[in-house]
Amino acid sequence: METRKVQVTGGSTYTVSLPKDWATANDVSSGTEVEFYSEDDLLLLTPTSDDEHTRGTLDVSDITDEEELTRAVMTMYVSGFDVISLETDQMTAKQRRTIRDATQGLVGLEVIEEMPTKMVLQDLLDSSELSIENAITRMRLVSLTMLEDAVEALVTDDDQLAHDVMERDDDVDRLWYMTSRVFRTVLRNPTAANEIGFSRETCFDYQSSARQLERIADHATKIATLSLEIGAIPDDAADSIRELHAEAATVPETAMDALLAADSEEAVELANQAREHIGVVDELVRNVDKEIYEFEPQVAQMLGLVIDSLSRTADYGTNIAESALQKSAPRP
């Protein structure tokens, strides 16, 4: 860490010198324009850029596996690049198809240029148009509805509903990637924080909670998949699992209310309610585990996985509650 003394010039202008190493590394010299951004008691400085887009280039010549190429596109997107150039000596039809499919799963990303040796993707959404709060609110609705429908598909042996739950997981994934992109963009670019309207700390709390909601959706998909394998289950088990779902879902529901609460006192109260409710869920899990122990071994094993997913859902809710408590805590 380096320190500088603030000086007054002309009787009213405060001046401070820049560290030479930083200035050299960022091509700052006499006459260079810089931008200042205030954030509470912080003042952030960055060199002015003529290009409003953050560009990234990736050589995909050696990436032939579809899953690996899809992951590469998603990584570039989440990393915050506005324009992504994927280059190779000769772009194959399989690579093009994989890139297009990956693009469709990411909010705002479109193919804007195709050439024999490269494809260029661009995020066409303005940062100011993206609401990380709206994204997690939508994730909350979709993921918890998925969980409810997955349990219903299980207890009613509804295969169509189970397949519908599995398809909705893609919607949650798209929102998860978007919130991660917004968060990383805010970390790197102080302009984005001003445009989005939330502090970096709040964006972190939202992104952390979005991760928990994405995991809940994954477990809803797991339950839906298991329901296709189990078939009809005993009525006693259906009633117990419905009850367990109701109690487990209460934790993330209450925690999300805390996270989105405008009043800090209300947020703390709701977050603590969510954390305390985990005891009710744990007790119920133990009771349901004992009930299914008497079932046919294969059914008992699969229902045990369902119970585990519901228990984890409650645990993820407590993680959201922790983020809500951090968000509502006084700033130092």
Question: What are the residues whose beta carbons fall under 8 Å from the beta carbon of 130, sequence distance 6 or more?
Answer: 108, 178, 182, 196
- Note whether 73 and 138 are same-domain residues: no
Separation between Cα atoms, residue 264 and residue 275, nearest integer Å: 16
The Cβ of residue 221 has, within 10 Å, a number of other Cβ atoms equal to 23
Two tokens, residue 57: 């280039």
- Note whether 301 and 278 are same-domain residues: yes
- Note whether 27 and 113 are same-domain residues: no
Query: Which of 68, 89, 123 lies at the terminal end of a domain, its last residue?
Result: 123
DSSP 44-79: EEEE--S--S-EEEEE-TT---HHHHHHHHHHHHHT
- Note whether 285 and 306 are same-domain residues: yes
- Note whether 153 and 296 are same-domain residues: yes
State which residues form the domain around 135. Answer: 130-328
In a domain, 1, yes or no: no
Quick: pLDDT tens for 163-191. 999 999 999 999 999 999 989 888 877 67
In a domain, 277, yes or no: yes
In a domain, 322, yes or no: yes
In a domain, 156, yes or no: yes
- Note whether 199 and 263 are same-domain residues: yes
- Note whether 39 and 67 are same-domain residues: no
- Note whether 137 and 277 are same-domain residues: yes
Per-residue pLDDT tens listing for the chain (332 residues): 778 888 888 767 888 888 888 888 888 888 788 877 776 677 777 777 665 678 899 999 988 899 999 999 999 999 888 899 999 999 999 999 999 999 998 988 999 999 999 999 998 876 556 688 999 999 999 999 999 999 999 999 999 999 999 999 999 999 999 999 989 888 877 677 777 778 888 999 999 999 999 999 999 999 999 999 988 888 888 999 999 999 999 999 999 999 999 899 999 999 999 999 999 999 999 999 888 887 878 888 999 999 999 999 999 999 999 999 999 987 66
- Note whether 298 and 244 are same-domain residues: yes
In a domain, 264, yes or no: yes
- Note whether 226 and 318 are same-domain residues: yes
Separation between Cα atoms, residue 310 and residue 215, nearest integer Å: 11
Separation between Cα atoms, residue 150 and residue 169, nearest integer Å: 12
In a domain, 232, yes or no: yes
What integer pLDDT is reported at residue 130 of this predicted model?
Answer: 67
In a domain, 2, yes or no: no
Q: Rounded to a whole number, what is the distance in angstroms from the first to the last CA of the chain?
A: 20
Query: Which of 70, 88, 123 lies at the terminal end of a domain, its last residue?
Result: 123
What integer pLDDT is reported at residue 50 of this predicted model?
Answer: 61
Whole-angstrom CA distances from 244 to 221, 264, 290 are 17, 30, 13
- Note whether 84 and 137 are same-domain residues: no
- Note whether 163 and 301 are same-domain residues: yes
CATH number of the structural domain spanning residue 84? 3.30.1370.110
User: Where does the chain have alpha helices with state H?
Assistant: 20-25, 66-78, 93-104, 132-156, 159-188, 190-196, 200-230, 235-260, 264-292, 297-328
Number of domains in the chain: 3
Q: pTM value?
A: 0.85
